[in-house]
């Protein structure tokens, strides 16, 4: 099978398109013919070696966590899918593997592809959509009628978070650049804050949940805009968020109830199926800024790394 492979840490030019051995499905696994794969910032962070302290790589390496395609074969103990089924999934390996014509995915991390979506659109959903859902529902405990502020609202995770916040019945305020104000309002935000003109951390309104989808602020930054029982949720990982969470938990012992939590996405076919139902009901939709051929995976990474992508980038892999 063809795959985009890297043999060491470095820039986008590390990618080589070459033939590698097609894997064989083991117990509980599906072999998926990949029609399209999503590109996420974590992919190029792994490629650069920025996460080697938490996810050391073994080379040669195939990146890519988001896939959509058709089941080609099933392993023992698989009961929910058959060859030919159209699916989307988050690859549950430590570094992915989706930038290839075939990939192994766990049955437990797979769901039927939403009927309303193309394979390219479906490949844009898993990691970012799951991150947004698990951040708001699980970490933020967001409930109907509450208020949530989403920072980085036009990006991959953020644009799903705005839609999911609205779908959960919350009042959504979206922080994004000036060119994206109409975009985030169309997603369901009742109010937009232009990040180029205003510092959202000094806003007059307070929120039940502040979701930092950009992962660039802190609980301390957002303390004034959180309700007394508010929760700050961030996509950032590392010692900073850990210390902030520890301090917020300690503060709770002395009467302060604001909390800080990091979201580390968990592959889940059940959660993907939930997102799929919202998609087929017309309440959630991925926005794709650009689709690249597999041969242009280096360009896709360079584009993602430059930042300011509206929604998601996708790579078209297998072609009939």
pLDDT in tens, 207-230: 999 999 999 999 999 999 999 999
Percent of the chain clearing pLDDT 70 (strictly above): 93
Residue 308 region by backbone torsions, left for phi larger than 0, else alpha for psi between -120 and 50, else beta: left
Residue 188 token pair: 């369901």
pLDDT at 86 over 60: yes
CB 97 within 8 A of CB 103: yes
Cβ neighbours, 10 Å, residue 161 = 33
Percent of the chain clearing pLDDT 90 (strictly above): 90
Query: DSSP strand E in the chain: where?
Result: 2-5, 16-19, 29-39, 66-74, 86-90, 102-106, 110-112, 147-151, 171-176, 191-194, 207-212, 226-234, 259-262, 288-293, 312-316
Residue with tokens 């800080």: 260
For the chain, the structural domain boundaries read: 2-125+286-316, 128-262
The set of residues, in sequence order, having a beta carbon less than 8 Å from that of 228 and lying 6+ positions away, is 257, 258
The CATH superfamily holding the domain 128-262 is NAD(P)-binding Rossmann-like Domain (3.40.50.720)
Average pLDDT of the chain? Answer: 94
pLDDT, tens digit (0-9, with 9 covering 90-100), for 140-158: 999 999 999 999 999 999 9
CATH number corresponding to 2-125+286-316 = 3.90.180.10
Residue 96 token pair: 């992915």
CB 320 within 8 A of CB 71: no
CB 229 within 8 A of CB 257: yes
For 163, counting Cβ atoms within 10 Å of its Cβ (0-12 exposed, 13-18 middle, 19+ buried), the class is buried
């Amino acid at each position: 099978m063809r795959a985009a492979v890297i043999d060491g840490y470095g820039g986008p030019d590390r990618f080589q398109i070459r033939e590698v051995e097609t894997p064989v499905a083991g117990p509980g696994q599906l072999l998926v013919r990949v029609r399209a794969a999503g590109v996420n910032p974590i992919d190029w962070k792994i490629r650069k070696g920025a996460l080697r302290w938490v996810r050391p790589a073994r080379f040669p390496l195939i990146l890519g966590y988001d896939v959509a395609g058709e089941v080609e074969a099933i392993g023992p103990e698989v009961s929910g899918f058959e060859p030919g089924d159209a699916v989307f999934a988050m690859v549950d390996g430590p570094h992915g593997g989706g930038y290839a014509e075939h990939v192994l995915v766990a049955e437990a991390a797979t769901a039927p592809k939403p009927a309303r979506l193309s394979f390219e659109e479906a490949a844009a959903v898993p990691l970012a959509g799951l991150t947004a859902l698990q951040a708001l529902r699980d970490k933020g405990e967001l409930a109907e009628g509450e208020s949530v502020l989403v920072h980085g609202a036009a990006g991959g995770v953020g644009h799903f978070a705005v839609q999911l916040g609205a779908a959960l019945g919350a009042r959504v305020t979206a922080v994004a650049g000036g060119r994206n104000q109409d975009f985030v309002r169309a997603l369901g935000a009742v109010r937009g804050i232009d990040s180029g003109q205003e510092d959202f951390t000094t806003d007059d309104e307070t929120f039940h949940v502040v979701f930092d989808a950009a992962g660039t602020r802190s609980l301390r930054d957002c303390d004034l805009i959180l309700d007394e029982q508010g929760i700050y949720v961030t996509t950032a990982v590392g010692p900073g968020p850990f210390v902030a969470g520890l301090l917020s938990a300690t503060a709770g012992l002395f009467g302060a109830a604001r909390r800080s939590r990091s979201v580390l996405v968990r592959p889940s076919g059940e959660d993907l199926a939930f997102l799929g139902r919202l998609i087929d009901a017309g309440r959630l939709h991925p926005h794709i800024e650009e689709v690249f051929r597999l041969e242009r995976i280096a360009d896709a990474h360079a584009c993602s790394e430059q930042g300011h992508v509206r929604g998601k980038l996708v790579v078209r892999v297998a072609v009939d």
